[in-house]
């Protein structure tokens, strides 16, 4: 029976060990987010007064328990959205 040299397997294990050590050293990439200047401007702009009024009305209805949802309208919009109409 012929015995093959184990040198090629040894090099594989060495490279694997180096990869594990580099990951353990804490040099992993981290996520980052950059916000554009336009987005910052949009964030600082005041909400239009008409929209504020609508939000206040809806909030009041929700708090009072009188806010009702038209299930058919919601279903229709969902159907149109998912079917591309």
Per-domain boundaries in the chain = 46-82
Among 56, 72, 52, smallest CA distance to 64 is for: 56
Q: Residue 57: pLDDT above 60?
A: yes
The model's pTM is: 0.36
Residue whose pair of structure tokens reads 């990869």 in the numeric block? 19
Q: Residue 5: pLDDT above 70?
A: no
Specify the pLDDT at position 45.
81
CA-CA distance, 85 to 76, in Å (whole number)? 10
Tell me which of 65 and 14 has the higher pLDDT: 65
Q: Residue 64: pLDDT above 80?
A: yes
| Residues 38/47, Cβ–Cβ less than 8 Å | no
What phi-psi label fits residue 84: left (phi over 0), alpha (psi between -120 and 50 degrees) or beta?
left
């Amino acid at each position: 029976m012929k015995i093959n040299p184990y040198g090629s397997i040894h090099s594989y294990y060495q490279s694997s060990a180096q990869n594990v050590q580099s990951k353990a050293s804490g040099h992993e990439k981290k996520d980052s987010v950059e916000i554009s200047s336009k987005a910052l401007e949009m964030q600082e702009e005041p909400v239009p007064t008409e929209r504020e009024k609508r939000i206040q009305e809806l909030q009041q209805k929700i708090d009072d328990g009188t806010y009702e949802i038209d299930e058919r309208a919601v279903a229709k919009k969902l159907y149109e959205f998912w079917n591309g109409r």
